[in-house]
Amino acid sequence: MDLRSLSLSILASAALAGYAYSQTPGQPPIPPGIQVGLTQLEGVVREIFGNKFVLEDATGRKLIETGPRGSELARVSVGDKVSVEVTPRDGFFHAASITLANGQRVVLAGAPPAPRGRDAAYDERGVLDAVQRAGFRDARVQEVKKKHVEVVAVDASGKSWELHVEFDGRIRKQEALVAMNDADVKALIERAGYTYGGSMRPKKKHMVVTAINSRGERVEIDVHRDGTIKKEKRIF
């Protein structure tokens, strides 16, 4: 059987096994030492293809991907009984670590990336304390991004700001927030040379407004909370 055929066969078996697993109530707790988000598999090595090998357990055969240096870091042989921590992805089971037949646990290069956002270096209390130390009050987290946090806060003069705060507390960007009602939006776009076109809808950080530009074209414009117009798109 070639590797492609084997992969398809194993993938089908894995899908059936996953369905059966999902129907089983009351899963046991994760054993000590197993990373959250990973699945532990135990079985016997049946075939080896470079940095991949076939593991057979009670549910069938699974194709294990060990990464670019897997065959060097974790040497397995056909017939070895091993334990593997894996993440199912792209039709394979990607190994984060392998416990060999002799009991040695090998952490593999290319393991799943560390969690981001709320599960990594982000500490909400630390971020809000840093914002307060910078002279702001009434701070609240609006959204956690991959590398920073968006925080809404008020300065000493009572002006509201959106702050982009690094996980270490450094404020890398701040944008003034202007509370605008419909009348404010209409007045703003008219000062910019537009005629209100009859509709506006709110987005997270701006209003999308239908308007007529100075050339008589019907357009949609993005009116942001800082009072700026940042995009114009013609509509037909």
Provide the whole-model pTM: 0.35
Which residues of the chain fall below pLDDT 70?
Answer: 1-37, 89-91, 109-121, 178-180, 204
The two three-digit tokens of residue 112, written as one number: 């799943």
Q: Hey, where are the domains in the chain?
A: 3-107, 117-176, 182-234
Torsion-angle region of residue 56: left (phi > 0), alpha (psi -120 to 50) or beta? beta
- What is the SS3 assignment for 118? helix
Contact (CB, 8 A) for 76 and 53: yes
Contact (CB, 8 A) for 47 and 56: no
Please state, as a whole number, how many other Cβ atoms lie within 10 Å of the Cβ of residue 151: 24
Token pair 């055929």 is found at: 5
pLDDT at residue 204, rounded to an integer: 64
Q: Which CATH superfamily, name and number, covers 3-107?
A: Nucleic acid-binding proteins (2.40.50.140)
Q: Each residue of 17-54: pLDDT tens digit?
A: 444 444 444 444 434 444 445 788 999 999 888 788 99
- What is the SS3 assignment for 19? helix
Contact (CB, 8 A) for 62 and 14: yes
The two three-digit tokens of residue 106, written as one number: 């090998």
List CB contacts of 45: < 8 A, sequence separation 6 or more: 53, 54, 55, 76, 77, 78, 79, 80, 81, 82
Q: Distance between CA atoms of 83 and 186, rounded to whole angstroms?
A: 65
pLDDT at residue 196, rounded to an integer: 95
pLDDT at residue 214, rounded to an integer: 93
Greatest C-alpha distance within the chain: 78
Provide the β-strand partners of residue 201. 208
**Residue 57 phi, psi dihedral angles, 5° rounding:** -125, -165
Q: Distance between CA atoms of 94 and 202, rounded to whole angstroms?
A: 43
Q: How far from each other are the two terminal CA atoms of the chain, in whole angstroms?
A: 57
Token pair 């709110």 is found at: 202
